[in-house]
């Protein structure tokens, strides 16, 4: 379950602080009370995980001065002002400065809760967007999202690091749901353009006239956006579903690419989604455009080729959903681990994400199994899986690694607790951790 947003209550009257705090606590908010604006300012930073409710009339620094100071600290921080009866000019001034809204005394507690709900939703969106922008500009952060120790993922990360340092255009292909857009983000984040613009254009989501205008311009006078080619100047332009471009659009794109010269002013990362349909990017694009884009190429591996990564991803995802929904993560049996490894995964990582969420919700209700969800997704699968050419030993080792990893994570690296739960002597546990590349320091 997502953490409750905080609400800082600032009022010089103790009874008012307590009554507001008690009411909002009943609504599930984590409240903090301050007797003065000066006291509150010492605790409210630019990324405060919540909102502020403040009286306007206070001794020392009043609410208007306090609001101005807060807007200087973080102009996107929602501040709800409490005004006395008839203080309309003050309320108008507060809104002009940047207050989220105001309440007039005596106020209806339900109205306060309604405003708090809107303000906290706005704040959560702001903070999420900031975190996303930070991750997209931090190569080390986004590379951590390319999870997995399989040879296919090791190669993918190496390709991203190598091609990220290059300056040419890139073509990314692979089956649906493999994470091609994430790879495009990573290419931008680890390269020299990391601090520049990153513009993503979903080509298949627009009709031809709209796409041509959005990509090349000219934009209508009332449009606040620049054409994507202009908006991404100096940075990276990602074209999702490039195969959906018409011959006319492909010719126009090729002309723009040729005009840019070498190195290109704007790097184009083209994402092609045809590999899982039995077609190829080569046949979907003009040959001259294809070879301009595919001089640097990354093919994102399908999930079924990533082996043990499937269990690692499922564990991480189910733990995240368990935290979000406030329940325990589903436990995976040896048979279910084998089934996860052997499933065909036509929807790849996107399908695994959906499965992890459903399994977590199922676990919260205390009904169903992961195997039953897999059977619903893949009706042709049998309860007991077999594999062609893959020895049982590999499934056993994958399950064993997952079990130790999960237990170490749950006990935050406590060796004694893991030994007790898994009934393993210390030497055996140490040997298995070394064998599977697990280090205690990663769980502390």
Q: Region 93-120: what's the mean pLDDT?
A: 89
CB neighbour class for 389 (10 Å; exposed up to 12, middle 13-18, buried from 19):
exposed
How far is Cα 226 from Cα 219, in angstroms, rounded to an integer?
Answer: 7
How far is Cα 319 from Cα 196, in angstroms, rounded to an integer?
Answer: 34
- pLDDT (tens digit, 9 = 90+) per residue, 162-195? 998 888 999 999 998 999 999 999 999 888 888 8
Lowest mean per-residue pLDDT among 123-132, 314-323, 372-381: 372-381
- pLDDT(21) > 70: yes
Task: Report how far apart, in Å, the C-alpha atoms of 74 and of each of 45, 100, 128 are.
Answer: 8, 13, 15
Same fold, 6-135 and 139-301: yes
**Is the bond leading into 263 cis (omega within 30 degrees of zero)?**
yes
- Name the pLDDT band for 135 (thresholds 50, 70, 90): low
Q: Are 40 and 8 in contact (CB under 8 A)?
A: yes
In this prediction, residue 388 carries a pLDDT of: 41
Which fold would CATH assign to domain 139-301? Rossmann fold (3.40.50)
Q: Region 336-345: what's the mean pLDDT?
A: 84
- pLDDT (tens digit, 9 = 90+) per residue, 216-248? 888 777 666 788 999 999 999 999 999 999 999
- pLDDT (tens digit, 9 = 90+) per residue, 288-315? 999 999 989 999 999 999 988 998 899 8
Tally Cβ neighbours within 10 Å of residue 34: 20
In this prediction, residue 272 carries a pLDDT of: 93
- For residue 50, what are the β-bridge partners? 6
How far is Cα 412 from Cα 406, in angstroms, rounded to an integer?
Answer: 10
Q: Are 407 and 421 in contact (CB under 8 A)?
A: yes
Task: Report how far apart, in Å, the C-alpha atoms of 233 and of each of 169, 179, 198, 228, 387 are.
Answer: 14, 25, 9, 8, 50
- For residue 236, what are the β-bridge partners? 198, 267
How far is Cα 104 from Cα 108, in angstroms, rounded to an integer?
Answer: 9
Cα torsion angle, 357, 358, 359, 364, sign: positive
3-state percent helix, strand, coil for the chain, nearest multiple of 5: 55, 10, 35
Q: Are 26 and 19 in contact (CB under 8 A)?
A: no
Q: Region 409-438: what's the mean pLDDT?
A: 85
Tally Cβ neighbours within 10 Å of residue 152: 16
Q: Region 325-331: what's the mean pLDDT?
A: 85
Q: Are 43 and 32 in contact (CB under 8 A)?
A: yes
How far is Cα 140 from Cα 334, in angstroms, rounded to an integer?
Answer: 34
CATH architecture of 304-380: Orthogonal Bundle (1.10)
- pLDDT (tens digit, 9 = 90+) per residue, 349-367? 999 999 999 999 988 887 7
Assign domain 6-135 one CATH number from 2.60.40.10, 3.30.420.40, 3.90.78.10, 3.40.50.2300. 3.40.50.2300
In this prediction, residue 386 carries a pLDDT of: 36
Which structure tokens are listed for 130?
Answer: 């900031």
- pLDDT(142) > 70: yes
Domain ranges of the chain: 6-135, 139-301, 304-380, 392-442
Q: Please enumerate in sequence order all residues whose Cβ is within 8 A of that of 135, keeping only pairs 6 or more positions apart, or say none.
A: 141, 142, 145, 189
Angle (CA) 346 349 354, round 5°: 90
Q: Are 12 and 35 in contact (CB under 8 A)?
A: yes
In this prediction, residue 380 carries a pLDDT of: 46
- For residue 299, what are the β-bridge partners? 173
Q: Which of 87-91, 117-121, 130-134 has the highest mean pLDDT?
A: 117-121
DSSP 9-40: EE-S-HHHHHHHHHHHHHTT-EEEEESSHHHH
In this prediction, residue 394 carries a pLDDT of: 67
Q: Are 195 and 234 in contact (CB under 8 A)?
A: no
pTM: 0.61
Which structure tokens are listed for 294?
Answer: 């595919």
For the chain, give me the number of helices (H) and strands (E)?
Answer: 20, 10
- Name the pLDDT band for 421 (thresholds 50, 70, 90): confident
Of 368 and 227, the structure prediction assigns the larger pLDDT to 227
Angle (CA) 173 200 255, round 5°: 75
In this prediction, residue 137 carries a pLDDT of: 56
């Amino acid at each position: 379950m997502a953490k409750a947003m905080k609400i800082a209550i600032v009022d010089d009257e103790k009874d008012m602080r307590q009554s507001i705090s008690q009411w909002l606590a009943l609504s599930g908010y984590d409240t903090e009370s301050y007797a003065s604006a000066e006291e509150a300012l010492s605790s409210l930073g630019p990324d405060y995980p919540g909102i502020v409710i403040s009286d306007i009339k206070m001794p020392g620094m009043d609410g208007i001065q306090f609001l101005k100071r807060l807007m200087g600290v973080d102009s996107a921080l929602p501040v709800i002002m409490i005004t006395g009866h008839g203080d309309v000019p003050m309320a108008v001034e507060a809104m002009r400065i940047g207050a989220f809204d105001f309440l007039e005394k005596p106020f209806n507690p339900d109205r306060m809760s309604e405003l708090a709900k809107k303000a906290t939703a706005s704040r959560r969106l702001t903070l999420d967007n900031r975190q996303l922008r930070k991750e997209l500009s931090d190569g080390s952060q986004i590379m951590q999202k390319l999870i997995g120790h399989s040879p296919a993922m090791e190669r993918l990360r190496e390709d991203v690091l190598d091609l990220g340092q290059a300056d040419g255009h890139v073509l990314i292909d692979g089956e649906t749901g493999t994470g091609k857009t994430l790879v495009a983000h990573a290419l931008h984040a680890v390269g020299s353009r990391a601090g520049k613009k990153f513009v993503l254009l979903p080509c298949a989501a627009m009709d031809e006239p709209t796409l041509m205008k959005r990509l090349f311009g000219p934009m209508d006078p009332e449009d606040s956006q620049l054409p994507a080619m202009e908006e991404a100047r100096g940075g990276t332009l990602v074209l999702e579903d490039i195969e959906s471009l018409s011959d006319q659009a492909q010719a126009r794109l090729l002309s723009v690419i040729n005009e840019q010269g070498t190195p290109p002013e704007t790097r184009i990362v083209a994402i092609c989604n045809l590999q899982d349909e039995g077609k190829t990017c080569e046949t979907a694009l003009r040959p001259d455009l294809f070879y301009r884009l595919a001089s640097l190429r990354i093919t994102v591996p399908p999930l079924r080729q990533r082996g043990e990564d499937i269990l690692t991803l499922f564990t991480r995802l189910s733990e995240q959903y368990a935290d979000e929904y406030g329940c325990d993560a589903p436990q995976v049996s040896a048979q279910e681990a084998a089934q996860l490894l052997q499933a065909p995964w036509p929807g790849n990582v996107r399908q695994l994400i959906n499965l992890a969420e459903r399994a977590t919700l199922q676990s919260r209700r205390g009904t169903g199994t992961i195997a039953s969800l897999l059977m619903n997704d893949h009706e042709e699968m049998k309860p007991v899986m077999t594999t062609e050419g893959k020895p049982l030993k590999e499934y056993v080792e994958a399950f064993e690694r997952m079990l130790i990893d999960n237990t170490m994570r749950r006990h935050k690296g406590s060796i004694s607790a893991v030994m007790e739960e898994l009934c393993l002597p210390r030497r055996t546990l140490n040997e298995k951790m070394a064998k599977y590349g697990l280090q205690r320091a990663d769980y502390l």
